[in-house]
Amino acid sequence: MGKFNFIKTELDGVVIIEPTVFGDERGYFMETYQKEEFAAAGIDRDFVQDNQSKSSKGVLRGLHFQTEHTQGKLVRVVSGEVFDVAVDCRPNSKTFGKWTGVILSAENKRQFYVPEGFAHGFLVLSDEAEFTYKCTDYYTPSAEGGIPYNDPTIGVEWPDCGCEYKLSAKDKEHPAFAEQTFSFFERW
């Protein structure tokens, strides 16, 4: 293994990344990104923006995408724990409408690469979590889109976090997956 273990998922392009962690009684060190190794693993994208958020237990953000300036995201948790989800929104994909999820935490140090053409969301499982991610394009508010977290066509199996899910007003209003065309993702 190099500095990273790249684990393919059932959705083409979605990858779980495990970094090599060097630790001793003083703490630990790890690389979280190295362009050449990621490119060799098929993640050959330029990242142009880094984001970080902090959320409390039960916060569910998503499922989000952009209709223009579509973003690939390399996500990780720096404190706490989340359940992270990617949904394939590429109309020409054999896994169109399918989802995959992974637990990301400060403890397991895993990362999740969600390419362009996917909706993305996460649920906070710990008392609070800090979530950070690199994006392949800039955030464009006018191009926001989304799918309801509980869309029956997708059927994401969100874990029980021990409380009610907390959603933004915007996330409560997304149109159903079956009502959307996703033609903006045809190139992916």
Give yes or no: 64 in active site. yes
Rg of the chain, C-alpha, whole Å: 16
Catalytic residue among 28, 69, 120, 133: 133
Give yes or no: 133 in active site. yes
Q: Is 108 helix (H, G, I), strand (E, B) or coil?
A: coil
d(CA 93, CA 77): 29
Angle subtended at Cα 77 by Cα 162 and Cα 129, rounded to the nearest 5 degrees: 40
Nearest to 42 by CA among 65, 76, 9: 9
Handedness of CA 55, 177, 49, 158 (dihedral sign): positive
Beta strand pairing status for 144-146 and 81-88? Answer: unpaired
Which residues does the annotation mark as catalytic? 64, 133
